[in-house]
Amino acid sequence: MAILECRECGQQVSDTAEFCPHCGAPGFVRMEKSYTIRTGSTTRNNFAYWLKVIAVITLIVGLIYAIASANQQIASGYSTRTVFSWDVFLSVLSSYWTSAFVLWSLGKVVQMIHETHEMMAGVQLEVQQQLKHSAAGQAAARKPKPVWEKVQVKFGVCPSCGKQSTLQFLNARNECPECHTAYSDKSEDNAWRIASQEKAICPSCGRTEPTEKLASSGKCPSCGETYRPA
């Protein structure tokens, strides 16, 4: 797996993604093809294979029969002698070899038709997959982008060490987590200063970050989601 850069938003995206998860841009990633167009290494057609086998057998049988036919017995007086007739040999052999050549050529034609059919099926499947990926990317691009929800977070500032803690934490612990100074929001002489800060909630991982920090970094420090203010 490799990391690519989206041409639309510039964010890093895996090469296995169908579309950019940040901006939804389609058609920029490398798509895995489930069918590879091959030349010379396609599947074998059984009919073409057996045609070639029969052609080879015809050649062998023709050669044997031509040799047997060419050996002729000629009577000479009270004895016979065997004479090899090249005319008979070539005549018989040519007829068998012609049949073998026709069978072999027919097998080659059947195999070529089979390979062409496989290649066209692969091209059709590849086009269908590209259309599917493109449609998925366009649908993702039309989806509304997730918006960061803004919230006001109140916190108390410790009068002793200046540690900032949320009011929820202080109400539960009643002390500063740093120096253990007692916290009370009901005492008139309470020296704890109450302040608030604007934060935004990441729509992907739920992490809360200050809007000022997000405006400078532009993304969530936890999951990398692009910051989009409401």
Give the rounded percent of residues in the chain with a pLDDT score beyond 70. Answer: 73
Can you give the pLDDT at residue 165? 76
Q: Residue 127 corresponds to which tokens in the numbers above?
A: 């086009």
The answer on pLDDT for 149 being more than 80 is no
Residues 152 and 196: their CA atoms lie apart, in Å, by 6
Task: Write out pLDDT tens, residues 78-93.
Answer: 777 778 888 889 999 9
pTM of the predicted protein model:
0.38
Task: Write out pLDDT tens, residues 95-112.
Answer: 999 999 999 999 999 988
Can you give the pLDDT at residue 57? 94
Residues 186 and 9: their CA atoms lie apart, in Å, by 50
CB-based contacts of 57-63 (< 8 A; 24+ apart in sequence): 58/96, 58/99, 58/100, 58/103, 59/96, 59/97, 59/100, 61/96, 62/92, 62/93, 62/95, 62/96, 62/97, 62/99, 62/100, 63/93, 63/96
Q: Residue 192 corresponds to which tokens in the numbers above?
A: 């704890």
CB-based contacts of 111-119 (< 8 A; 24+ apart in sequence): 111/44, 111/45, 111/48, 114/42, 114/43, 114/45, 114/48, 115/39, 115/42, 118/42, 118/43, 119/37, 119/42
Can you give the pLDDT at residue 33? 41
Residues in the chain: 230
**Nearest Cα to Cα of residue 36 among 128, 132, 121, 134:** 121
Residues 79 and 74: their CA atoms lie apart, in Å, by 9
Question: Parallel, antiparallel, or unpaired for β 79-84 and 71-76?
Answer: antiparallel
The answer on pLDDT for 167 being more than 60 is yes
Can you give the pLDDT at residue 38? 44
